[in-house]
Each structure stands twice: as C-alpha cells, then as structure tokens.
Amino acid sequence: MRDHSRLLLGLVVGAGLGLVAKALAGDAPWLAWVLANVTGPIGQLFLRLLFMLVVPMIFSALVMGVADLELRHLGRLGARALGYTVVISSIAVLIGLGLVNLFKPGEGMSDEVRALARTSVVPKAAAAPGDTSAAALLVSIVPDNPVKAAANGDYLGLIFFALVFGIALGLTRTPATERLKEVIAGLYEVTLVLIGGVLKVAPLGVAALLFGMTARLGFDVLRQLAAYVGVVLLGLSLHMFVVYSLSVRFFGGRNPVQFFRDVRMAAITAFSTASSNATLPTALKVAEENLRLPPNVARFVLTAGASMNQNGTALFEGVTVIFIAQLFGVHLSFQEQLVVMFICVLGGIGTAGVPAGSLPVIAMILGMFRIPPEGLGLILGVDRLLDMCRTTLNVVGDLAAAVYVARGETVDEAPAAPTS
C-alpha cells in the first residue's frame, strides 16, 4: 500500500474509532485512560519527530537554496527571478490568509469543546513573539547568537542567519567553502531521508491523533476539516488561474490560454508525483520545447524554482496555520498574521520539493504561536490530495517565472510560443 493510502487509512480508522468511542463511552474513565496513556503518547511521539527535524531542515534547505543561486555571476537574472518569487509568493499567502479569515473554516465549536481540546498534551512550544510591533520584529529578526536562537525556537532569527549564511556561501568560491557546501548538501539529503522515515510511521501517528481528537470533539471536527480542504483548493485555484494568468499576460507578454496548454504535461506530472524535484526534467523539456525559452534561462529559473519558488506551499502553510489556530480558539492578531505570512514566504524557500516537505515548517509556526500541533493529525489525513494540487501550482509557477525572466533577458529575440 502506498504512503498516501496508508495515511488515508490511518485517518479513517482513527477518526472512526474515536467517534465510536465517544458515542459508546462518553466520559468513561477507561476512555480517559486510553487517551492519556496510549493514543496520547503515540501521537505526541509522532509530533516530536516532526519538531526534531525543523532546525536541520530549515537551515540546510535555505542555505542550499540561496547558495545555489550563484549571485556573484548571475546578476540581473538572479535578482529578477528572486524578486518575482518573493512578490508572487506574498500574493499567494495574502490570498490564503484572506480566504481563511473570510470563511473561517476552523470556527464553530463551542468554547467548552475548545477548552477540552486544549487540555490535550502537546510538545513544548517555541517562544512566541513577546512584542509584535514593527520595530520589535525588525530587531528580533537578527539573532545575537544563532545557536541559541535555534535552541530556544527563535525561528525568525534562524531563518535570517540561514539566508545571510547562504548568500555569503554563494559569494565565496574557495576549495574550503565548496567542501562546506557539500557538507550542508549532505545534511539536507539526510534530513529528507529522515522525513521519509517519519512518514513511514505517520499512519500510526495520524490514527492516534485523530482518535484523540474525535473522541473528545465528536463529528464537528471532521466537518471543519472538509471546510478547510475547500478553502485551500479555492485559494490554489484563484492563484493558478487568476494570478498566473495576469503574470503571464502582463509580465511575460503571452496568451494565458496558450501558456496553460503548453505546460499541461508538466502540470500533469506534478499532480501525479506531488514532487517539484521529480517534475523538474519534464518542466525543463516543456520550457525549451513548448514555451521556446532560452535554455540558460529555463535551466536556471526552473532548477532554482524547484526548491525556492513554492507559491502553492506558502499559500497552504498560511491557511493551515490559521485554520488550526481557529480550530483551537487561538486568536492571532493582524501583526501576528503578518509574521506568519513572512515566515511562509521564506518557508517557501526552505521547503523541500518532495511530498509532505512543508510539514516541519508548519510545525515550527504552530510552536511559535502556542497553537496545539495536534491539528497536524487532521491535515496529514488529507494532505496527499492537497500536496498534489499545491505541487501543480508550484511547477506552473516556476514556468510562469521562467517566461517573465526570459522576456526580460531576451527582449524581442525570444521566438513566439507555438500554437496548437
């Protein structure tokens, strides 16, 4: 059985048994004992495994993503691609945050049920921002000690240090720094293997978490999960067919309908694999043969974009964090949501282009704002479908970025896209 099928099975079994237990046992002492001594510890061990991977994942992915840009040599090409990525990813997160605040899929439970949900045992969260004013946030981004920042859960400081370190590593070309780059690349690859290992035991963790949630909260939590899936899919659709269409038309100078026809093979591959990295060969072929982009531009933008231009992932992370906050009654102010947006945009750079690569980033943000991470159990059960959809958005976004950058580099020399 494939991993996503096992996750779905874990969701169904855990939620089903939890609903049965709630209906038959109610507040029986034996059910409380099972929640506290069996399903609770299993679910928390799974969550702690995810939290364990946050620091190595974020640091190695960000450093490698920025260092591989080779800023010293790429100049305007790299600046245009990076600027486009930041702007479009910010729009994606704004769409997601707007929709989740408009429809509020996580709201609707009574205060009593929310209070019961928050009594569940959760891993020790990272330090939440004490002051969310603009000046305080600006100062807090720069850590006085990056190791201390990582140990204390100051992830804004860790992200800043990783970005600066990656830029310096990309600008420094010596034998020693090349070896250092290989070491960090090795750390990144090992982290990916560890994530894969955690996902092997994820069905058991998902079943335990969902049993605990449904046994305490009942059927309402599943209704809200369906609303959450609808909000994510709506956000991804708006970004795909509105934002990318406008980008291709006004920034790339191409017909959006023709663009979507030309990239359909890459989109299908992305949807089926749920991996930007696995789709890269197909995306390169589409860019050079269908879109007729200059090979040097296509290879640079798509290779960097497979790990950096994660618009769909950024949107998904923002919606997921706010949804889980709503589910557990954790109010996030406007300033705190801006912090979430900022982290999600940078998290798009530090997210692995593999299935479920965004989970450590979401776990990190939940910890920062004292949001119970048990909600991740809900997300994992439906994550395969959402992962396939957001990966499709990521890959199409890489191709849209390549169209924009190619137009700026080749001016009027780029051949017109073929018609079909």
Token match 């590593």: residue? 169
> Among the ranges 62-71, 172-181, 353-362, which has the highest mean pLDDT value?
172-181
In this predicted model, which residue has the larger pLDDT, 182 or 46? 182
Q: In angstroms, rounded to a whole number, what is the distance separating the alpha carbons of residues 163 and 131?
A: 23
Token match 């969260």: residue? 125
- Helix (H) / strand (E) element for 391: namely helix 375-410
Q: How far is CA 314 from the centre of its chain?
A: 5
In this predicted model, which residue has the larger pLDDT, 314 or 277? 314
C-alpha distances in Å from residue 202, one per residue of 10, 205, 206: 8, 5, 6
Q: In angstroms, rounded to a whole number, what is the distance separating the alpha carbons of residues 198 and 57?
A: 13
What domains lie within the chain, and their CATH numbers? 3-410 (1.10.3860)
Q: What was the pLDDT predicted at 214?
A: 79
Length of the chain: 420
Q: What was the pLDDT predicted at 241?
A: 95
Number of helices (H), then strands (E), in the chain = 22, 0
Q: What was the pLDDT predicted at 416?
A: 44
| Segment 196-237, tens digit of pLDDT | 788 788 888 878 877 887 787 777 777 888 899 999 999 999
Average pLDDT over residues 413-417: 43
Residue 418 has pLDDT above 50, yes or no: no
Positive/negative CA dihedral, 355, 359, 362, 368: negative
**Nearest alpha carbon to residue 62 among 353, 343, 349:** 349
Q: Strand, helix or coil at 337?
A: helix
Q: What was the pLDDT predicted at 97?
A: 93
Q: What was the pLDDT predicted at 153?
A: 67
Residue 287 has pLDDT above 60, yes or no: yes
Q: What was the pLDDT predicted at 123?
A: 42
Q: What was the pLDDT predicted at 275?
A: 72
Angle between helix 76-103 and helix 295-308 axes, rounded to 10 deg: 40
Average pLDDT over residues 338-345: 85
pTM of the full structure: 0.71
Residue 262 has pLDDT above 80, yes or no: yes
Q: What was the pLDDT predicted at 103?
A: 93
| Segment 10-60, tens digit of pLDDT | 878 888 888 888 888 777 888 888 888 888 888 888 878 877 887 887 788
Q: What was the pLDDT predicted at 247?
A: 94
Average pLDDT over residues 106-117: 64
Within a 10 A sphere around the Cβ of 255, how many other Cβ atoms?
Answer: 16
Residue 376 has pLDDT above 90, yes or no: no
Whether 276 and 372 have beta carbons less than 8 Å apart is answered as: no
Residue 412 has pLDDT above 70, yes or no: no
Residue 305 has pLDDT above 70, yes or no: no
Q: What was the pLDDT predicted at 417?
A: 46
In this predicted model, which residue has the larger pLDDT, 383 or 88? 88
Q: What was the pLDDT predicted at 182?
A: 93
* Contacts of 289 by beta carbon, 8 Å cutoff, 6+ apart: none
Q: What was the pLDDT predicted at 414?
A: 41
Q: What was the pLDDT predicted at 133?
A: 54
| Segment 57-70, tens digit of pLDDT | 778 877 876 776 65
Whether 40 and 217 have beta carbons less than 8 Å apart is answered as: no
Query: pLDDT band at 134, cuts 50/70/90?
Result: low
Q: Enumerate the H helices of 201-310 as residue ranges.
A: 202-217, 220-238, 244-246, 256-262, 264-273, 276-285, 295-308
Q: Is 153 left (phi over 0), alpha (psi -120 to 50) or beta?
A: left
Structure tokens at 48: 């702690």
Q: Strand, helix or coil at 170?
A: helix
